[in-house]
Amino acid sequence: MERTLVAATTDHVGQEVSVSGWIDARRDMGKIIFLDVRDRSGILQVVVVPQVVGEQGMAIVKDLRPGFVVQVDGLVKARGEKAVNPKLVTGRIEMEAKAVTVLATAQPLPFDATSDLGLDTYLDHLPYTLRTARARAIFKIQGEIIEAFRAFLRGQGFTEFQAPKIVAGSTEGGANVFTIDYFGKPAFLAQSPQFYKQIMVGVFERVFTVGNVYRAELHATTRHLNEYTSMDLEMGFIRDHQDVMRVENDFLAYLVDHVARTCAAELELLRATLPAVPKDIPAVKLREAQEILGKEFGIACIGEPDLEPEHERKLCEWSAKTHGSDFLFVTHFPTSKRPFYTMPDPADPNFTLGFDLLFRGIEITTGGQRIHDHAMLRNNIAKWGLNPDHFAYYLEAFQYGMPPEGGLAIGLERLTAKFLGIENVKEATLFPRDIARIDERLSVS
Amino acid sequence: MERTLVAATTDHVGQEVSVSGWIDARRDMGKIIFLDVRDRSGILQVVVVPQVVGEQGMAIVKDLRPGFVVQVDGLVKARGEKAVNPKLVTGRIEMEAKAVTVLATAQPLPFDATSDLGLDTYLDHLPYTLRTARARAIFKIQGEIIEAFRAFLRGQGFTEFQAPKIVAGSTEGGANVFTIDYFGKPAFLAQSPQFYKQIMVGVFERVFTVGNVYRAELHATTRHLNEYTSMDLEMGFIRDHQDVMRVENDFLAYLVDHVARTCAAELELLRATLPAVPKDIPAVKLREAQEILGKEFGIACIGEPDLEPEHERKLCEWSAKTHGSDFLFVTHFPTSKRPFYTMPDPADPNFTLGFDLLFRGIEITTGGQRIHDHAMLRNNIAKWGLNPDHFAYYLEAFQYGMPPEGGLAIGLERLTAKFLGIENVKEATLFPRDIARIDERLSVS
């Protein structure tokens, strides 16, 4: 018999169907045994009665434990009113088993994965702990976040491209890069697709790419990862950084709508509250933000070149209170603190046309207008203490005509975590890498 | 004035609009100057007349060269019947310039990128050479191939996930891995997301991921890359490898339809012929394939454990001639030649339930049913000369219940190349990495 998904059995009351899935629970009620069978669509209650499955069938069912993979052929029946379970998609029906086949056995489960495990135990056993309803909800939603990013941008005339991850130099001349042995020569893991997406503006005007990026940071915090997924876009023919902010604002509205539509059950399970996205997300210059921090929170930081994590949290509090917005753009960071390719503000070249987007207490995006003039860019590379000749390949894109352009990057895992109210970004990362772990814990040497 | 895309100017005959783009060509016809302005949507002919733009305008236009980025405000006019250019989307109209603004200058172009450059020159100057209509067509189509892969699988109940690229061990215990310095410890670049997609079958049943994979192969051929994009899927509750082949067959039909719909102009420009996808792609066992090679082509190879490139070409010739199919599945490779996780054929355990898909002379997919039984998998790891304890994390997925499952991987760049009739896979790779090149050529040490 063809397999029927558990959620589709409700269309087959009075008929025999075949379902396959994992045993989620077995409840022995004397002679009758209840099985909860889970597949990707939901959970189905199966009733096993000796008179129907026979002695051989009962022997199979008695050995079943959570984790076993089974095929159950049986009759779909409506439940009595009292037995209806409104929490299940299949709560108005159940299946009376005719035959049970074991497709795969499972060892006794090491612990209850739905209990409060502690992060290390959770991560030590991801191949098992990712099977919980909670983890499945998180990563289903994460998949939809990426899909929304792509679908929105495709609708706006953006073209997708694949960026290389092995690079010959570090993108921004900085530290924190992982070194690869590339046939006896050193190469590096890309910290971002920055140069490639700028090059691609010369090809397609508007481009995006989603992929892994790497930071060899020695941090062990709730917000850092050594390998994460970056959702990047870059667009030509902009007036200034505000055109890029507009695209992000519209994307976020699209995203919230998309996730609400496609992941209602998962959001409910996680008790996640989707953010309201204002038509115009409030934006303040860094200097204004610092004044707010002083006036509203007594934090003296005027003149500092960047925001501390505590500042980001407080500014988000302020934005929520004052503007009813979970989001806040902060613009005009000092030129000296931004990468060499960031466009200075023509009105005050000590500050850039760059921005961060803060969301529920944390920065999830860095973006801005870039320098598109070849001579200016080349000069800036030298000003930053780097050798322009090492950037010849990248610079070629600007040599042969580059429109005014800008872009941004969104950290997928941070966005997922903040979207869903998850404290530690590692819980919103499928297989997180940090200084102490690549799947298994790294031995201390 | 808001920017109008070049292709949309046809809706504005008799109106003034503003377009922005690159100068593709300038033709001086005495007093009048014609400009071809290109943006992401197409090319527009702009007529510059001294009486309209004035002396200052003419001075700007006289300095324009291909590559310059401009904004042109002007009046859209219908062309006379004789001046219609059916090759252009905008061939029935032209724009009379009122004002021309230079958004960015360009240095004189180093060579005509549309001429026959030779691969090295082409690759040395990708930031410039990717701007040709040919390259744009190739990578627009490549973006649509990925989109089709995702859209088809999402429709089939697959969930997308992000696989890590930094791994603690080499997936298949083999050589050809790149080593990373991971905080003083060795780590590796993943050769495939194999283990992760199998783990994820335990979570979502049906999963897919698209991302970079790495092979530290010293080959310099037209078919090898050291970093490429792998489109991977894995699915549970299969009967055998044929269920996986069915999904690939249906995906290919979907793909051809999708590309035909979304990329008609690009296909025409590349003079590419989309393959016909038979309802059932022919499938032969390796042994049968070897008999065909002997009988039809006089190639004696019966008993060899794998196919040579020449064999793949000949088998595709045979498949096209005999079955009218550009595709051919070859199944049942010897167990000893496949990775430890490949399911042996119960009818003859010396051969596997694995398959390759050949397409126009080359293998573009390897797939098959996997071993899902924990004890059998553990034993096989040892049989392959590896230490099962090093695979503890991966094995945990099988310890706690794994349905019969299988999957496949499609090399995106090879598929793109063969789809479009491109000889060298590097031309179907945006920024190819090989033993001699990471963007710029690596210095010989």
The DSSP letter of residue A338 is S
Query: Can you state the angle between helices A194-204 and A392-399, rounded to 10 degrees?
Result: 30
**pLDDT single digits (tens) A335-386:** 998 999 999 999 999 999 999 999 999 999 999 999 999 999 999 999 999 9
Between the alpha carbon of residue B272 and those of residues B259, B267, B347, the distances in Å are 11, 5, 42
Top CATH class, B120-441: alpha beta
CB of B101 closer than 8 Å to CB of B38: no
**H-helix segments, B46-111:** 50-62
Q: How many CB pairs under 8 A join A and B?
A: 261
Residue B280 scores a pLDDT above 80: yes
Of A164, A211, A373, the CB nearest to B431: A164
The DSSP letter of residue A227 is E
At A172, the pLDDT band (50, 70, 90 cuts) reads low
If you measure CA to CA, which chain B residue comes closest to A394? B127
Contact A106 B372 (CB under 8 A): no
Residue B351 scores a pLDDT above 90: yes
The whole-angstrom separation of Cα A396 and Cα A145 is 34
Evaluate whether ipTM surpasses 0.90: yes
Q: Which of residues 152-211 of A touch B (CB under 8 A)?
A: 154, 157, 159-168, 178-185, 187, 189, 196, 199-200, 202-206, 211
- Supply B108's token pair: 């004189």
The whole-angstrom separation of Cα A313 and Cα A305 is 17
Residue A444 scores a pLDDT above 60: no
**Share above pLDDT 70 across residues of chain A, in percent, rounded to a whole number:** 98
If you measure CA to CA, which chain A residue comes closest to B443? A185
- Which residues does chain A have within 8 Å of residue B182's beta carbon, measured at their own beta carbons? 178, 438, 442
The DSSP letter of residue B400 is T
Measured in angstroms, the CA of B444 and the nearest CA of chain A are apart by: 9
- Which residues does chain A have within 8 Å of residue B373's beta carbon, measured at their own beta carbons? 104
Q: Is A150 on the interface with B (CB under 8 A)?
A: yes
> What's the maximum distance between 2 C-alpha atoms anywhere in chain B?
86
Q: Is B374 on the interface with A (CB under 8 A)?
A: yes
- Which residues does chain B have within 8 Å of residue A167's beta carbon, measured at their own beta carbons? 438-439
CB of B393 closer than 8 Å to CB of A440: yes
- Which residues does chain A have within 8 Å of residue B187's beta carbon, measured at their own beta carbons? 438
- Supply B423's token pair: 């000889």
Average pLDDT in the A121-135 region? 96
Partner residues linked to A186 by β-bridges: A181
Residue B111 phi/psi, 5-degree rounding, is -170, 170
Q: How many CA atoms lie within 13 A of B361 on its CB side?
A: 10
Residue A232 scores a pLDDT above 60: yes
Q: Is A323 on the interface with B (CB under 8 A)?
A: no
At A171, the pLDDT band (50, 70, 90 cuts) reads low
Q: Comparing C-alpha atoms, which of A228, A194, A185 is closest to residue A370?
A: A194
What pLDDT does residue A213 have?
96
What pLDDT does residue A219 have?
75
What pLDDT does residue B100 have?
97
What pLDDT does residue B443 have?
74
Domains of chain A, by residue range, sit at 6-104, 120-441
What pLDDT does residue B171 have?
60
Contact B40 A157 (CB under 8 A): yes
**pLDDT single digits (tens) B216-274:** 988 777 778 899 999 999 999 999 999 999 999 999 999 999 999 999 999 999 999 99
The whole-angstrom separation of Cα A200 and Cα A195 is 9
Q: What is the value of pTM for the model shown?
A: 0.96
Between the alpha carbon of residue A144 and those of residues A201, A257, B144, B204, B315, the distances in Å are 26, 11, 19, 14, 41
Element (H, E) at A283: strand A283-285
Q: Is B219 on the interface with A (CB under 8 A)?
A: no
The whole-angstrom separation of Cα B37 and Cα B24 is 6
What is the secondary structure of B240-306 as a DSSP string?
SHHHHHHHHHHHHHHHHHHHHHH-HHHHHHTT--PPP--SS--EEEHHHHHHHHHHHH----TT-SS
What pLDDT does residue B223 have?
77
**pLDDT single digits (tens) B93-142:** 999 999 999 999 999 999 998 888 899 999 999 999 999 999 999 999 99
Interface test with B, best of A26, A40, A156, A218 (most B CBs within 10 A): A40
How far apart are the two ends of chain B, measured CA to CA in Å? 55
Of A128, A403, A445, the CB nearest to B103: A403
Q: Comparing C-alpha atoms, which of B233, B213, B214, B236 is closest to residue B161?
A: B233
Q: Is A128 on the interface with B (CB under 8 A)?
A: yes
Residue A443 scores a pLDDT above 90: no
The whole-angstrom separation of Cα B359 and Cα B276 is 11
Top CATH class, A6-104: mainly beta
Residue B311 phi/psi, 5-degree rounding, is -65, -40
Of A167, A180, A445, the CB nearest to B180: A180
Q: Is A53 on the interface with B (CB under 8 A)?
A: no
**pLDDT single digits (tens) A415-442:** 999 999 999 999 999 999 999 899 998 8
**pLDDT single digits (tens) B293-339:** 999 999 999 999 999 999 999 999 999 999 999 999 999 999 998 99
- Supply B248's token pair: 């690939």
Q: Which of residues 394-413 of B touch A (CB under 8 A)?
A: 394, 396-397, 399-404, 412
Q: How many CA atoms lie within 13 A of A381 on its CB side?
A: 18
CB of B182 closer than 8 Å to CB of B168: no
Q: Comparing C-alpha atoms, which of B415, B410, B407, B411 is closest to residue B243?
A: B407
Q: Which of residues 275-304 of B touch A (CB under 8 A)?
A: none
The whole-angstrom separation of Cα A100 and Cα A58 is 9
In single-letter form, the type of residue at position B110 comes to: P
Q: Is B150 on the interface with A (CB under 8 A)?
A: yes
Partner residues linked to A441 by β-bridges: A437
Bridge-based pairing of strands A283-285 and A327-331 is: parallel
